[in-house]
Chains A and B, each alone.
Chain A
Amino acid sequence: MKTMTVEQVTDMIIYACDAIIENKPYLTDIDSAIGDGDHGIGMAGGMAKAKEALLAERPFPDVNAVFKTTGMSMLNSIGGASGVIFGTMFLGGVKGMGALSLAKLMRGSLEAVKERGKAQPGDKTMVDALELAVLAMENSTGDDLPAALAAAKDAAHKGVEDTKQYVAKYGRAKSLLERAIGHQDAGATSVAIIFEAMHSYAANAAEADA
């Protein structure tokens, strides 16, 4: 599977929204350990708004519009740092939807997120998962979307594992210093859930196509 239609991309993002909404209690538990416990509520609320907007506004003229609607919905409903960061993640420009264009989109998102939040890899943030996912997509050989997303979700999960070793530089966990070690970052977990869901959708869609 080389590319997706705009309708398929819309469905894929809605699928990712549902995955975050389902994982609200899980994200709350993770964030409660070292953060202020509101990540699950914020993300689920933002993704519910995004899904609502996607359903109301579809069909979209292009993939860019799908991502923009998602990003703006999250930005204007989650609040806090997560709203800006996850909103920004979806606000990067994109044309068409193949493995390469998705990698390019996510590279743009990653750079925008780093610029906005000032976080670098190793700071125990969502950047740890997103950076590895983007690199995996860029290194994925062949222009196959499910394969690129499979590599991305594995890399994102590895990024989540990596956050357990880090001392936090941002948010409430920052003041815990070494006490935060051993705990994974909630934002990185959300990134992994989103890539996992996008992969599941793409793999199922490719199977249906075949």
Chain B
Amino acid sequence: MKKIINPGSDIVAEMMSGYLAAYSRYFERISGNNAFAYKNRRKGKVSLVIGGGSGHEPLFSGFVGDGLADAAACGNIFASPNPQLILETARAVNEGRGVLFLYGCYAGDNMNFDMAEDLCDMEGIETAHVRVWDDCASAPKERVEDRRGIAGDVYVIKIAGAACDAGHDLKEVLRITEKARDSINTIGLATRPGSIPGLGKLTFELGDDEIEFGMGLHGEPGIERTKMQPACELVERMYGEIKNEMGLGAGDKVAVLVNGLGSTTLLELSIVYNELNSRMQADKLIVHDAEIKSYCTCQEMGGFSITILKLDDELEKYYDTPCFSPYYARGEIK
């Protein structure tokens, strides 16, 4: 398997060095580690720290910026950052108004961030956390806390960043962020596996002519494996699942993200959105905003996910606040 790395070297550290060197006008590394902060972050507010395993870029490193997260702690390939790294990241951006940790709901992330919160507590840093569990194919609704976090992270970070910038206290930022988290669902579809950098192995096996609905980012088994189908049929099934899950109907206002998983092209993703859009129009949903990008990926993994954020007036206000990072921006230059 061809992979552009230096075999045997520290892949994540080298990636981080390259990324931070290129974007040094925006970011500063935190004490030589695989963590960094946004240089121009606003002061005197609740700090937003995000993080997770590496290998899913631009998540999480691409979502540190103006109106977004203040810092990111990046773990090894597909593995959570450790408690010490998370603590140091929180320390670096703490403004004395508390730190909100935002991450995807996975056993490793949950434990490491919990332990980091214990360490912060010992230093008198006030903390709270929101675990993103948007993947509605990963567990039934009754066990929502067992669901995994995938592309929905993007919208939760966006709204949490805006809530922090609005100057709210930690409790209020937490309330708004949880509300955003609970208004988002995602469903994914895999067409081919990614590879594990440095290991030269695929993350799962899937026949050339097969697809799997609901498969997780690391190849966690989904809800159904079938033969490949035309885009219209794939979208029909996925839109049906998510519509049903969220109880969407005429007049509901939504933001929509069609997210590529790594190797699926803009051509394909746009065809997906075209299919999705015609169905949303037919159902009389109000599409407030939509995006076709590859934000939450797993190396060369093929496939896409559909994320829907159901907006009310409050969430819309935070959604519409401009934000900027080298990988994600909302709002127009007037």
Interface of A toward B, CB cutoff 8 Å? 28, 32, 36-38, 41-42, 75-85, 116-117, 170-172, 174-176, 179
A79 near B79: Cβ-Cβ < 8 Å: yes
A36 to B76, CA, bound (A): 13
Q: Can you list 21 A-B contacts (CB < 8 A)?
A: A32-B201, A36-B218, A37-B201, A38-B77, A41-B199, A76-B85, A78-B82, A79-B80, A79-B82, A80-B79, A80-B80, A81-B80, A81-B107, A81-B108, A84-B108, A84-B111, A84-B112, A116-B111, A117-B111, A172-B218, A176-B221
Which residue of B75, B76, B84, B216 has the most chain A CB atoms within 10 A of its CB atom? B76
Which chain A residue lies CB-closest to B148? A175
B80 near A175: Cβ-Cβ < 8 Å: no
A110 to B192, CA, bound (A): 40
B112 near A171: Cβ-Cβ < 8 Å: no
A77 near B82: Cβ-Cβ < 8 Å: yes
A77 to B201, CA, bound (A): 22
A84 to B219, CA, bound (A): 23
Q: Given A36-B219, A170-B107, do A83 and B199 touch, yes or no (CB 8 Å)?
A: no
A75 near B83: Cβ-Cβ < 8 Å: yes
Chain A residues whose C-beta falls within 8 Å of the C-beta of B138 in the assembled complex? 175
B76 near A79: Cβ-Cβ < 8 Å: yes
Chain B residues whose C-beta falls within 8 Å of the C-beta of A78 in the assembled complex? 79, 82
Query: Which residue of the partner chain, among A42, A171, A172, A176, contacts B76 with CB atoms under 8 Å?
Result: A42
A76 near B107: Cβ-Cβ < 8 Å: no
Which chain A residue lies CB-closest to B12? A79
B268 part of interface (Cβ distance < 8 Å): no
0/1 per residue, B303-331, Cβ < 8 Å to A?
00000000000000000000000000000
CB proximity to A under 8 Å, residues B77-118: 77-85, 107-108, 111-112, 114-115
0/1 per residue, B123-167, Cβ < 8 Å to A?
000000000000000100000001000000000000000000000
B81 near A85: Cβ-Cβ < 8 Å: no
A134 to B6, CA, bound (A): 43
CB proximity to A under 8 Å, residues B196-210: 196, 199, 201, 203
Chain B residues whose C-beta falls within 8 Å of the C-beta of A80 in the assembled complex? 53, 75-76, 78-80, 108, 112
A175 to B196, CA, bound (A): 20
B107 near A117: Cβ-Cβ < 8 Å: yes
Q: How far is the CB of A45 from chain B (nearest CB, A)?
A: 8
A81 to B77, CA, bound (A): 13
Q: How far is the CB of B55 from chain A (nearest CB, A)?
A: 10
Which chain A residue lies CB-closest to B74? A79
Which chain B residue lies CB-closest to A117? B111
A176 to B221, CA, bound (A): 7
A179 to B77, CA, bound (A): 26
A79 to B51, CA, bound (A): 12
Query: Which residue of the partner chain, among B79, B82, B111, B196, contacts A76 with CB atoms under 8 Å?
Result: B82
Which residue of A32, A37, A79 has the most chain B CB atoms within 10 A of its CB atom? A79
Interchain residue pairs A-B with the least CB separation, the first 4: A80-B79, A80-B108, A79-B79, A81-B108
A175 to B107, CA, bound (A): 13
B220 part of interface (Cβ distance < 8 Å): yes
B114 near A38: Cβ-Cβ < 8 Å: no
Chain A residues whose C-beta falls within 8 Å of the C-beta of B203 in the assembled complex? 36
B80 near A172: Cβ-Cβ < 8 Å: no
A116 to B115, CA, bound (A): 8
A179 to B222, CA, bound (A): 13
A174 to B81, CA, bound (A): 22
B79 near A38: Cβ-Cβ < 8 Å: yes
B199 near A37: Cβ-Cβ < 8 Å: yes
Chain B residues whose C-beta falls within 8 Å of the C-beta of A83 in the assembled complex? 79-80, 82, 108, 112
Chain B residues whose C-beta falls within 8 Å of the C-beta of A170 in the assembled complex? 107
A83 to B106, CA, bound (A): 14
Which residue of A32, A77, A80, A179 has the most chain B CB atoms within 10 A of its CB atom? A80
Q: How far is the CB of B301 from chain A (nearest CB, A)?
A: 13
Which chain A residue lies CB-closest to B76? A79
Chain B residues whose C-beta falls within 8 Å of the C-beta of A179 in the assembled complex? 221
A59 to B68, CA, bound (A): 47
Chain A residues whose C-beta falls within 8 Å of the C-beta of B80 in the assembled complex? 79-81, 83
Chain B residues whose C-beta falls within 8 Å of the C-beta of A76 in the assembled complex? 82-85
Q: How far is the CB of B8 from chain A (nearest CB, A)?
A: 12
Q: Given A36-B78, A79-B76, A80-B53, do A85 and B111 touch, yes or no (CB 8 Å)?
A: yes
